[in-house]
Chain A
Amino acid sequence: MIRALYTAATGLEAQTLNIDVIANNLANVSTSGFKKSRADFEDLLYQTLKEPGSPATSTTQVPTGIQVGLGVRPAAVQRVFLQGDFNQTTNPLDVAIQGDGFFQVTLLDGSTAYTRSGAFKLDSTGTIVTSDGDLLTPQITIPQGADSITVGADGTVSVTLPGQSAPSQVGQMQTARFANAPGLRAEGRNLFVETDTSGSPQVGSPGQDGLGELAQGFLEGSNVSVVEELVAMITGQRAYEVNARAVSAADEMLRTAVAIGR
């Protein structure tokens, strides 16, 4: 009886985490380059009161034993790196990755972070930065007075300077990919950092070695599907409700037991 109370409580906690993850997905439905997460659960310990297959007599066996499960626990909050939708913006510094790969960004402390959000800007010196002002790596500087900026599918950045008919190349965007992208740690601000389980980054030119090509004038939207999240929210909410009912059923039985002999 007391067991059931605690078992149901683990269910309530698990569904709370489930709703937390769904709420974060929905909050980021319009965040460019956002990748949705999913809470994964697994069952908790089993208390084995009688082992299945243990001998019942010298010649027969117990066909099924008695095992009591003690609830559920979160196994992982897994990030799902499916491609998001492409939104056309026609802004020359909006770049989307079609397929595998991350842009590399150098943070203030000199460390490298990775992002799928390609909403780039220029800083006061003409260097390409993210919306937060972090430098794109390798660094690319657009000369003053450049007429138009072109980003090729392979990451070549070229500009047309006034008075020149042919565009001149000013840099090359590179992307990185990981053996196990879901193993990256999310830092917020659309940034991810490398961990032991993500593997080390394989840096290369877009369109080569399995890295996705770039699309200029597009932004990758989030890969959150509102309908899917709403359905998950409804099932999560109902699962919370039935677990709460299990708590009250256990409570009711305790009340009955306590009332014996009154």
Chain B
Amino acid sequence: MQTGIYSAVSGGLAAQSRLDAVANNLANASTPGFKAERFVQRADVAGNPAPRAPVVSTSIARGRSETDFSQGPLEHTGNPLDVALSGPGFLVVATDRGERLTRRGNLGLDAGGFLSTSDGLRLQGEGGEISVPAGPVAIDPDGTVRANGQSVGKLRVVTVQDPAQLVRESGTLFAAGSQPLTSAAAGDVQVVQGAVEGANVSPVQGLVALIDVMRGFEAYVRAAERLDQTTARAITEVGRV
């Protein structure tokens, strides 16, 4: 049997996964705080070819998904409760499942007057949840929240040692798992009031990736077809007397 056909099929399957990732990025082009995902293909060699063995090893394309944590564009909104992080770091929200990280800064107040996301998850300050009394709100670059000129709390901005291990969750959230959260070093990250961070998705790159994936998939399928034809000829012609 031709083993190459399995390599071609694995390439086609990887192309599908890449398409899934590109489609998800483009669907989230307007999602604040969204970080693009990338499907990275890699070659896995099946079997253990002995030196000088007349066996061609079969390369199987597999992959893993990576998150692109680069900064998204800051979009000015003028809304006093919109914050964007400029620099590496995350805001911390409390969920039923524990603390989660996010860069989605379109905040609001819940019925109790606490600073929360539009899903109603309360923001975690350095001294617990932040209750904001009515009145003009100012948020300093270091995350200090002031209402009527009085400090009412400070937004907790954290980093993790290895962002690649963060698990993506619905709602533009990331779960840190067992990684400890460390406070972001002052000066590394700034809290910008009156702006939200847009998705770091480039529609142009997305379109190019779409074409690349589509044509790549076609090439894998054609390769599989050719290999199949070779096998067919071997079966029908070689044995003919």
Q: B1-42 vs A: 1/0 string, CB under 8 Å?
A: 000000000001001110111111111111110100101000
Q: Is the CB of B16 within 8 A of A43?
A: no
- For the complex, what is the distance from the CA of A178 to the CA of B16, rounded to whole Å? 50
- Chain A, 28-71, contact with B by CB distance < 8 Å: what is the 0/1 string? 00000000001111111110101111000000001111111111
The reply to whether B64 and A65 contact each other, CB–CB distance below 8 Å, is yes
Are B217 and A261 in contact, with the CB atoms below 8 A? no
Pairwise interchain contact B64-A249, C-beta atoms closer than 8 A: no
Collect the chain B residues with CB atoms within 8 Å of residue A76's CB. 118-119
A69 near B63 with CB under 8 A, answer no
Q: How near does chain A come to B48, taking the closest CB pair, in angstroms?
A: 16
What's the Cα separation between A198 and B206 when bound, in Å? 40
Residues 183-223 of B, flagged 1 when their CB comes within 8 A of A and 0 if not, give 00000000000000000000100110011011001100100
A138 smallest CB distance to B (angstroms) = 22
**Are A67 and B31 touching (Cβ within 8 A)?**
no
Residues of chain B within 8 A of A39, CB atoms compared? 30
Contact B24 A68 (CB under 8 A): yes
| Complexed CA–CA distance, A66 and B167 (Å) | 10
A242 contacts B21, C-beta separation under 8 Å = no
Asked whether A246 and B177 contact (CB < 8 A) given A50-B64, A66-B65, the answer is no
| Main SS at interface, chain A | mixed
For A253, list chain B residues within 8 Å (CB).
15-16, 19, 213-214, 217-218
Main DSSP-derived SS at the B contact region:
mixed
User: A246-260: which residues lie under 8 A (CB-CB) from chain B?
Assistant: 246, 249-250, 252-253, 256-257, 259-260
Cβ 8 A contact of A242, one of B26, B37, B106, B166: B26
Pick from A43, A63, A246: contact of B34, CB under 8 Å: A43
> Does B95 sit at the interface, judged by CB under 8 A?
no
Could you show 14 A-B contacts with beta carbons less than 8 Å apart?
Answer: A3-B23, A41-B28, A42-B171, A62-B64, A65-B167, A67-B65, A67-B168, A68-B20, A69-B21, A69-B25, A180-B110, A239-B26, A243-B26, A246-B27
Q: Is B170 in contact with A68, judged by CB distance below 8 angstroms? A: no
A69 touches B24 (CB 8 A): yes
Q: Which of A52, A238, A246 contacts B166 (CB 8 A)?
A: A52
A78 contacts the other chain (CB 8 A): yes
A199 touches B26 (CB 8 A): no
Nearest chain A CB to B84 CB, angstrom units:
14
What CA separation (Å) do A238 and B206 show in the bound complex? 12
Task: Bin chain A's interface residue count.
Answer: 35 or more
Residue of A nearest to B169 (CB): A46
Shortest beta-carbon distance from B223 to chain A in Å: 11
Chain A residues with CB under 8 Å of B170's CB are 42-46
Q: Which residues in A have some Cβ–Cβ distance to B below 8 Å?
A: 1, 3-5, 7-8, 10-11, 14-15, 18, 38-46, 48, 50-53, 62-72, 75-76, 78, 80, 82, 100, 177-180, 182-183, 196-199, 202, 210, 235-236, 238-239, 242-243, 245-246, 249-250, 252-253, 256-257, 259-261
A82 to B76, CA, bound (A): 14
Question: In the complex, which residues of chain B have a beta carbon less than 8 angstroms from the beta carbon of A199?
Answer: 111, 113
With contact pairs A52-B166, A239-B30 given, residues A11 and B135 touching in the complex (Cβ less than 8 Å):
no
- Is residue B108 within 8 Å, beta carbon to beta carbon, of the partner chain? yes
A71 touches which of B24, B67, B211 (Cβ 8 Å): B24
A198 contacts across to B, CB distance below 8 A: 111
State the CA gap A69–B64 with chains docked (Å). Answer: 13
Which of chain B's residues have a CB closer than 8 A to the CB of A53? 165, 167, 177-178
> Nearest CB to that of A50 among chain B residues?
B64
Partner of B17, one of A41, A68, A180, A210: A68
Contact of B134 among A65, A70, A100 (CB under 8 A): A100
Beta-carbon contact of A42 and B113 below 8 Å: no
Shortest 3 CB-CB contacts between residues of A and residues of B: A11-B27, A69-B24, A76-B118
A8-B23, A11-B28 given; A180·B111 CB < 8 A: yes
Determine the chain B residues whose CB is within 8 A of the CB of A1 once the complex forms.
16, 19-20
A252–B214 alpha-carbon span in the complex (Å)? 7
Most buried by B among A71, A80, A180, A202: A180
> Is A80 within 8 A of B79, CB to CB?
yes
B29, A4: Cβ atoms closer than 8 Å? no
Contact A246 B26 (CB under 8 A): yes
